[in-house]
Amino acid sequence: MRTRHSFTALLAIALLAALASAPSRAAPATNPRLASLQIEIWPEYDRPQALVILKGELASDAALPATVALRIPASSGGPSAVAYADPSGKLLNLNYERENAGDFVMLRFRTPQRSFHVEFYDPLAPDKRERNYRYGWPGDLAVDQVGVLVKEPAGASNFSVQPALGITTVSPDGLRYRAAQLGALKAGQPLPIEIRYTKTDPRTSVEILGAAAPAASAQRSARPDGWLLALGAGVLAMWAAAGFVWWRRRKRSALRAAGAGFCPKCGVTTTPADRFCASCGAALARQPSSS
């Protein structure tokens, strides 16, 4: 009888240990470390919302393919793009899982390369004269070097960002950028970013700038932290990226109007669900917003 009780007790202890060690789906527990993370926020750029872009690069000692779990605000409704960068810098669609996690949407994806790219739109209040937007990096991964880049909306004044971003420049499309390196973040250490400005024009930056913005043929930097290497190189990279993004978005608008179902760069047939071309990695037209 004593032996049976001992066996039952040992079995119960083993079951409790197994349950305690099981990974929780509420928060990432085994995320790899990031060598760099670039957080970009573009308020009211092509929608009356804040476009948030997360560009991460895994540490060199992370085994590939790597599973990454990170949270984005539930108010966003989910990501508009999840991708990875191949060795040439092309962005390719990446399959992901999502689940609701309270105030967040949890994304899980398995990246075959070190660089990944996540985009989402988050609501703000464009009907108010004094506007503000707050994004909080939830600290799901440890980061060796985090950088922040914020693009001021066209027609905005009294613009401020916390934490303070020391690098300021005006790109060829006429929009001002603010950027800074903020150092390392531990896993679980959040980073709140708060933006405030005054704006009475309800139009987006794309609508205000119209056809006056120049085009450029430069590609985005393949490295998420490339603009952080030096101020001069960073300014040039941001100028080139701004021109290319503007050209890309205008071309996508034309394709939407024409109802094209093919890649604007290489001509390969695409589906409405594709965010990036599976052949060449080119960004495809976003679906029109329902808001």
First-residue to last-residue Cα distance in the chain: 69
Contact in structure between 10 and 119 (CB atoms under 8 Å): no
Residue 224 has pLDDT above 80, yes or no: no
Q: Give how far Cα 68 sits from Cα of 11, 71, 86, 257, 265, Å.
A: 33, 10, 17, 36, 30
Task: Name the pairing type of β-strands 130-137 and 191-198.
Answer: antiparallel
Among 83, 59, 40, 33, CA closest to 234: 40
Where does residue 193 fall: left (phi above 0), alpha (psi -120 to 50 degrees), or beta otherwise? beta
Q: Which tokens go with 183?
A: 């150092």
What's at 55, amino acid-wise? K
Class of domain 34-196: mainly beta
Phi, psi dihedrals of residue 15, rounded to the nearest 5°: -65, -40
Neighbours of 272 (CB within 10 A): 8
Q: How many CA atoms lie within 13 A of 9 on its CB side?
A: 6
Residue 269 has pLDDT above 50, yes or no: yes
Dihedral angle sign, alpha carbons of residues 27, 32, 35, 38: negative
Task: Name the pairing type of β-strands 146-151 and 34-43.
Answer: parallel
Neighbours of 274 (CB within 10 A): 16
Contact in structure between 238 and 273 (CB atoms under 8 Å): no
Q: How many residues appear in the chain? A: 291
pLDDT tens digit string along 72-107? Answer: 999 999 999 999 999 898 999 999 999 999 999 999
Question: Domain coordinates of the chain in residue numbers?
Answer: 34-196
pLDDT tens digit string along 121-164? Answer: 999 977 789 999 999 999 999 999 999 999 999 999 999 999 99
The residues near 61 (Cβ < 8 Å, ≥ 6 apart) are 33
How many Å apart are CA 216 and CA 190, to the nearest integer?
36
pLDDT of residue 266: 59
Dihedral angle sign, alpha carbons of residues 164, 170, 176, 180: negative
Phi, psi dihedrals of residue 79, rounded to the nearest 5°: -75, 150
Q: Which tokens go with 164?
A: 């303070």
Least confident of 46-55, 134-143, 234-243: 234-243
Residue 16 has pLDDT above 90, yes or no: no
pLDDT tens digit string along 272-291? Answer: 656 777 666 667 765 444 44
- The alpha carbon of residue 209 and the mean position of all alpha carbons in its chain are separated, in whole angstroms, by 24
The residues near 21 (Cβ < 8 Å, ≥ 6 apart) are none
Contact in structure between 161 and 52 (CB atoms under 8 Å): no
Contact in structure between 263 and 255 (CB atoms under 8 Å): no
DSSP conformational letter for 6: H
- The alpha carbon of residue 174 and the mean position of all alpha carbons in its chain are separated, in whole angstroms, by 23
pLDDT band at 171 (very low <50, low <70, confident <90, very high): confident
